């Protein structure tokens, strides 16, 4: 799970641990911050497996810092205009770079059958869905949809019980509603996939962004 997230982020540029954590929170939909107690062991794990290489980015190391800066420039520009501080990781410590083996591992993990109905793992895979083939994308979405639908019907039949107090009832209802909206979201994504697989229609570009190719 974490390995997939790390490899996916490193595909788009070299990063150090702290920054990986931030991206996991902001760029991906992961609301719960992963802890450093997970992150650093995961990085060590990946490095010993040959999937990433740690590059020492000492105070005076122009080539490595250059690579790290490049992937951060956009964020820096945005933030510098608003606040004074926000120091970039100018001279911190280790910067990690993905290897060819790491890229292969990423592809393998991304297409893996997504064991169990884990919401975090699913969101993560959707975040990296541009690296999947259209077929794998659709099957990923449909698998999740089936899981949620099954869960929903189970919970709904069990939620007819009236022995719940107002608080427990409220939690169950709110959760149920959330699942329904997840399903609606999946339906929208699936519709978009079908739309994208059928390129030519009467209108060359009806909805503007809708027909655009996957933006990288």
* Chain contacts with a second copy (rule: CB under 8 A): 25-29, 31-32, 74-75, 78, 116-119, 123, 126-130, 151, 154-155, 158-161, 163-168, 170-172, 174-175, 177-179, 181-182, 185, 189, 192, 209, 214-216
DSSP string, 129-150: GGGS-HHHHHHHHHHHHHHHHH
Kindly tell me which of 160 and 202 has the beta carbon lying closer to a second copy.
160
| 160 contact, one of a second copy, DNA, none, CB 5-8 Å limit per kind | a second copy
Rounded to a whole number of angstroms, the CA Rg of the chain reads 21
Kindly tell me which of 62 and 74 has the beta carbon lying closer to a second copy.
74
Write down the least CB distance from residue 187 to a second copy, Å: 12
**x/- binding map, residues 32-51, to DNA, per CB under 7 A?**
x-xxxxx-xxxxxx------
Candidate list 90, 130, 174, 194; residue touching DNA; CB under 7 A? 90
- Using CB under 7 A as the binding rule, whether residue 86 contacts DNA is answered as yes
- Using CB under 7 A as the binding rule, whether residue 87 contacts DNA is answered as yes
DSSP string, 73-120: HHHHHHHHHH-S-----TT-SEEEEE-HHHHHHHHHHHHS---S--HH
Which residues fall within 8 angstroms of residue 211, CB to CB, at 6 or more apart? 195, 196, 199, 204, 205
| 80 contact, one of a second copy, DNA, none, CB 5-8 Å limit per kind | none
Asked whether 16 and 94 are in contact (CB, 8 A), the reply is yes
Please name which of 19, 10, 27, 40 lies closest in space to residue 89, comparing C-alpha atoms. 19
* Rounded Cα distance, 206 and 190, in Å: 19
- Using CB under 7 A as the binding rule, whether residue 84 contacts DNA is answered as yes
Write down the least CB distance from residue 25 to a second copy, Å: 8
Site for DNA in 12-31 (CB under 7 A): 16-19
* Rounded Cα distance, 30 and 121, in Å: 9
Binding site for DNA (CB under 7 A): 1-3, 16-19, 32, 34-38, 40-45, 59, 84-95, 115-116, 118
């Amino acid at each position: 799970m974490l390995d997939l997230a790390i490899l996916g982020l490193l595909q788009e540029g070299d990063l150090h641990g702290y920054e990986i954590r931030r991206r996991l929170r902001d760029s991906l939909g992961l609301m719960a911050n992963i802890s450093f107690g997970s992150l650093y062991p995961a990085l060590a794990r990946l490095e010993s497996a040959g999937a990433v290489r740690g590059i020492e980015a000492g105070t005076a190391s122009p080539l490595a810092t250059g690579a790290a800066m490049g992937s951060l420039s956009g964020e820096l520009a945005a933030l510098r205009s608003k606040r004074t501080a926000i120091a970039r990781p100018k001279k911190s410590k280790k910067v990690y770079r993905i290897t060819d083996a790491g890229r292969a591992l990423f592809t393998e993990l991304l297409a893996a059958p997504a064991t169990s109905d884990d919401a975090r793992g699913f969101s993560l895979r959707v975040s990296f869905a541009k690296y999947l083939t259209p077929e794998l994308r659709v099957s990923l979405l449909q698998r999740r949809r089936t899981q949620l639908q099954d869960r929903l019907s189970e919970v709904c039949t069990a939620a007819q019980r009236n022995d719940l107090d107002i608080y427990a009832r409220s939690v169950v209802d709110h959760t149920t509603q959330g699942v329904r909206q997840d399903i609606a979201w999946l339906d929208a994504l699936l519709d978009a996939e079908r739309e994208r697989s059928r390129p030519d229609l009467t209108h060359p570009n009806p909805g503007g962004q809708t027909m655009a190719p996957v933006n990288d």
